[in-house]
Amino acid sequence: MTMTLYSNCKMTTLFHSADVSAEWPCVVKVSASEILVEYDDDGLCQYIGQARGLGHYELHAPEIKGHASLHTFEGSEVMEGSWVEGSYKGMWRIELK
């Protein structure tokens, strides 16, 4: 299966509990059925997931007890969703580049 690689993405997160946002560079590999989001947060962090409908992905990061969603539509250069890592939760937005 062919995956599209976006190697110069910008990920913006919003932490609900602290009303704080942050930006990180990230890499996204995505196909119609799979997605991988990688970024450095004092070590490599990987969210890996499956499509749950066209443009809708459910992701997991077992190493950090993470669960997330990302959504987009055909032709968009943005993915948005929510995440939970342990007791922390928030929203995230990834600009695909």
% of the chain at pLDDT higher than 90: 68
According to the model, what pLDDT value does residue 71 have? 97
What is the band of 15 on the pLDDT scale with cuts at 50, 70, 90? confident
What is the band of 81 on the pLDDT scale with cuts at 50, 70, 90? very high
Residue 51 sits in which domain range?
4-95
Which 3-state string (H, E, C) describes the chain? Answer: CCCEEEEEEEEEEEECCCCEEEEEEEEEEECCCEEEEEEECCCEEEEEEEECCCCEEEEEEHHHCEEEEEECCCCCCEEEEEEEECCEEEEEEEECC
What is the band of 19 on the pLDDT scale with cuts at 50, 70, 90? low
Nearest to 43 by CA among 24, 20, 67, 16: 24
Number of domains forming the structure of the chain? 1
According to the model, what pLDDT value does residue 70 have? 98
- The alpha carbon torsion through 36, 79, 34, 3 (nearest 10 deg) reads -80
> Could you tell me the CATH number of the domain that includes residue 37?
2.40.160.90
What's the mean pLDDT in 56-64? Answer: 96
